[in-house]
Amino acid sequence: MKSKLKHKIEKKNGKRVFQVNKLAMELEKETESIYQINNSVVNKEIKEKEIQTKKEIVRELTKQDRVKKERKKKANADLDSALELFNNL
């Protein structure tokens, strides 16, 4: 790319500065669009990771809640059994 650019500059001596500025502007635009694409991809990945993390937290909390309910049911059943045994004495 540099050799082609150099050749163009030597060939068009009078428009050398304009040609270099034009190419620099085009390169800057392309670079900026690449950065925007990369940023959008990174932002999308970050959002997906956040959503995944929230889903995992909800799953864990749901699991903990289910375990608590099961323990409470078992404790109530044990208490009922103990009361029934006590009343039968």
Give residue-wise pLDDT tens across range 43-89: 999 999 999 999 999 999 999 999 999 999 999 999 989 888 888 87
Spatial contact of 16 and 9, defined as CB atoms under 8 Å apart: yes
Structural domain that includes position 18: 2-88
Provide the 3-class DSSP secondary structure of residue 12: coil
Structure tokens at 15: 């428009």
**What's the domain count of the chain?**
1
pLDDT on residue 2 = 54
Provide the 3-class DSSP secondary structure of residue 89: coil
Is pTM beyond 0.95? Reply is no
